[in-house]
């Protein structure tokens, strides 16, 4: 009886231990997508939302993918009627806050897709964070043209 209970507890402890250090407890990632681009386009944009659920400040450092030549973190800036696209070194993720990569603002600049990407396709992009964790994330390719 005691031994059975001990075994059950040990199993439970193992199970919990397996769950505990999951990176999901750090950053919650939602709505990851890539804008479908015209055929032949050499640069695409990826968007997502990152919520830092921990108590510590984090940052997104890099993005990598086999589906693209390389990826940079970019920010579209508007000043005085002019648009500028600048590369950012990292994207700070303050504790408890959600950082949104969205059209007209932050985006993953995806250079030279290795294969044509169409609506409904998916690409895997690995995100590396300042706490040393890396997450392999599925981005869905979306055609967001307004068809009327």
Which residues in this chain contact another protein in the complex, by CB under 8 A? 35, 37-45, 69-70, 74, 76, 78, 81-86, 103-104, 107, 109-111, 144-148
Shortest distance in whole angstroms from residue 14 CB to another protein: 46
Q: List the end-to-end C-alpha distance of the chain, in Å, as a whole number.
A: 70
Shortest distance in whole angstroms from residue 140 CB to another protein: 16
Shortest distance in whole angstroms from residue 74 CB to another protein: 7
Shortest distance in whole angstroms from residue 133 CB to another protein: 27
Place of tokens 């993720």: 93
CA-wise closest residue to 76 among 29, 51, 108, 42: 108
Cβ proximity to another protein, 9 vs 77, nearer residue:
77
For 140, the token pair is 């869905």
Q: Which letter, b or e, does each residue of 22-59 get, where b requires 16 or more Cβ atoms within 10 Å of its Cβ? A: eeeebbebeebbbbbbeeeeeebbbbbebebeeeeebb
């Amino acid at each position: 009886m005691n031994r059975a209970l001990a075994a059950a507890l040990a199993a439970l402890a193992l199970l919990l231990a397996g769950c505990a250090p999951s990176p999901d407890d750090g950053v919650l990632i939602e709505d990851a997508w890539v804008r479908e681009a015209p055929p032949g386009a050499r640069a695409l944009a990826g968007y997502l939302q990152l919520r830092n659920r921990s108590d510590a400040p984090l940052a997104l450092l890099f993005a990598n993918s086999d589906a693209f030549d390389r990826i940079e973190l970019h920010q579209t800036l508007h000043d005085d009627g002019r648009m500028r696209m600048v590369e950012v070194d990292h994207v700070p993720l303050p504790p408890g806050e959600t950082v949104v990569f969205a059209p007209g603002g932050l985006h993953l600049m995806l250079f030279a897709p290795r294969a044509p990407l169409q609506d409904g396709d998916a690409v895997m992009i690995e995100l590396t964070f300042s706490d040393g964790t890396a997450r392999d994330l599925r981005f869905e390719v979306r055609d967001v043209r307004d068809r009327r």
